[in-house]
């Protein structure tokens, strides 16, 4: 789809290459000009989006977790990882309001924190719950 518009392989953008790879792998996605959306694997996967920023860097968003420090060379490798069973997302909530997102990677059958973000929760008296999401496209 995207490669037809872009022409030769060397003129494809990182998002075009990622979209082509998703298409070839049979993974559903939606692409807009500077953004790629991937629906999480059912039943417990997490949604992903990749957005090309004006400065050329890429923002990855995984169901609340986000990081904007990816360059063009890292896009496809990171995308493959978050779509695999080697990555999972823990979402901590208080009073049904998400307040912490932890992206974890599997190393030798043990889970380790890759990156986490949080926001203040004003519902600190509410019991915390943790939901685990994992894509298994690969």
For residue 117, give its domain range.
87-133
Separation CA 39–CA 42 (nearest Å) = 9
What is the mean pLDDT of the segment spanning 94-119?
92
Helices (H), the chain: 2-6, 14-25, 75-82
Q: What is the largest CA-CA distance in the chain?
A: 57
Determine, yes or no, domain membership for 45.
yes
Residues 9 and 76 in one domain: yes
Determine, yes or no, domain membership for 128.
yes
> Domain total for the chain?
2
* pTM of the complete model beyond 0.85: no
Residues 7 and 70 in one domain: yes
Beta strand 128-133 with 87-94 is antiparallel
Query: Taking 80 as the threshold, does the pLDDT of residue 126 lie above it?
Result: yes
Separation CA 115–CA 135 (nearest Å) = 17
Determine, yes or no, domain membership for 138.
no
Separation CA 34–CA 52 (nearest Å) = 5
Separation CA 121–CA 129 (nearest Å) = 13
Separation CA 64–CA 47 (nearest Å) = 9
Backbone angles phi, psi at 13, to 5 degrees: -80, 170
Percent of the chain with pLDDT over 70: 92
Going by pLDDT thresholds of 50, 70 and 90, the confidence category of residue 11 is low
Residues 7 and 46 in one domain: yes
Going by pLDDT thresholds of 50, 70 and 90, the confidence category of residue 41 is confident
Residues 35 and 60 in one domain: yes
Query: Taking 60 as the threshold, does the pLDDT of residue 42 lie above it?
Result: yes
Query: Taking 80 as the threshold, does the pLDDT of residue 1 lie above it?
Result: no
Query: Taking 50 as the threshold, does the pLDDT of residue 89 lie above it?
Result: yes
């Amino acid at each position: 789809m995207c490669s037809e518009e872009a022409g030769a392989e060397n003129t494809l953008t990182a998002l075009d290459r990622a979209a082509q790879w998703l298409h070839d792998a049979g993974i559903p996605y939606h692409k807009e000009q500077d953004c790629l959306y991937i629906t999480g694997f059912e039943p417990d996967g997490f949604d992903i989006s990749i957005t090309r920023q004006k400065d050329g860097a890429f923002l990855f968003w995984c169901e609340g977790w986000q990081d904007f420090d990816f360059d063009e060379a890292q896009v496809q490798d990171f995308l493959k990882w978050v779509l695999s069973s080697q990555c999972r997302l823990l979402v901590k909530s208080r009073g049904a309001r998400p307040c912490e997102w932890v992206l974890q990677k599997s190393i030798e059958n043990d889970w380790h924190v890759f990156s986490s973000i949080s926001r203040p929760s004003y519902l600190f008296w509410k019991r915390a719950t943790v939901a685990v999401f994992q894509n298994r496209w690969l």
